Amino acid sequence: QKEVEQNSGPLSVPEGAIASLNCTYSDRGSQSFFWYRQYSGKSPELIMFIYSNGDKEDGRFTAQLNKASQYVSLLIRDSQPSDSATYLCAVNSPRSSASKIIFGSGTRLSIRP
Amino acid sequence: SQTIHQWPATLVQPVGSPLSLECTVEGTSNPNLYWYRQAAGRGLQLLFYSVGIGQISSEVPQNLSASRPQDRQFILSSKKLLLSDSGFYLCAWRPRSPPDTQYFGPGTRLTVL
């Protein structure tokens, strides 16, 4: 079992709709959860982080965390073509002395006009 | 504010040649530093991390090495490059104290011919 699992996609969503990206993790001790966006040929960019169960909203983005189910999701409202990218879910590794973050392999999101 | 620099941005090297990639962080002190590699169309592979000057931990045995000669400088090296060393090399930093988000540099795209 991978430590952080994501559906690789591609996930195709019409412009203006809600894009829903999902992620599961294996270590129940994880306490920090992150979403990164990576455009083709560019480095990952942090877009959201969440520490507590529930929802956290930032503009068009909402991160959702359910520690009991070991599940993290990212909702993108009013999807725009500029949201087309690979989204990486990341989870802290509590057993690491260097505060390592474990990354999923990413979900490719395509917003169709 | 903190910034992270990597150079060079692009590099084309022959097989068997040496490599030196540099990463520096500004605006923070005592960060955790990380080197990742991303092969084309693939996820992030953690190569090395460092919690302090001269302290290097290797995640994957290979012909690469890393050094941290100064608090905010992280160097990735190789004595002899292989074709399989081609990829997108990313340096990242993370503060010691919360918020424990991780930030990536712009990356170096290495092609070994």
A33-51: per-residue pLDDT in tens?
999 999 999 999 999 999 9
Which residues in chain B touch residue A43, judged by CB atoms under 8 angstroms apart? 88, 90, 104-107
A4-29: per-residue pLDDT in tens?
999 988 999 999 999 999 999 999 98
Q: Which of A43, A44, A100 shows the shortest C-beta gap to B46?
A: A100
Q: Give B8's Cβ-side CA count (13 Å radius).
A: 9
Indicate yes or no: CB of A43 within 8 angstroms of CB of B105: yes
Q: What is the mean pLDDT of residues A55-62?
A: 97
Cα Rg of chain B, angstroms = 13
Nearest CA to B88 among A66, A44, A55, A52? A44
Tell me what pLDDT residue B61 has. Answer: 66
Q: Which H, E and C letters describe chain A, residue by residue? A: CCCEECCCCCEEEECCCCEEEEEEECCCCCCCEEEEEECCCCCCEEEEEECCCEEEEECCEEEEEECCCCEEEEEECCCCHHHCEEEEEEEECCCCCCCCEEECCCEEEEEEC
Q: Is the pLDDT of residue A83 over 70?
A: yes
- Strands A85-92 and A107-112 come out as antiparallel
Of A90-99, A101-110, B17-26, the poorest mean pLDDT is in A90-99
| Window A:30-89, CB contacts with B under 8 Å | 32, 34, 36, 41-46, 49, 88
Q: What is the mean pLDDT of residues A89-111?
A: 86
Give the residues of chain B that fall short of pLDDT 50.
Answer: none
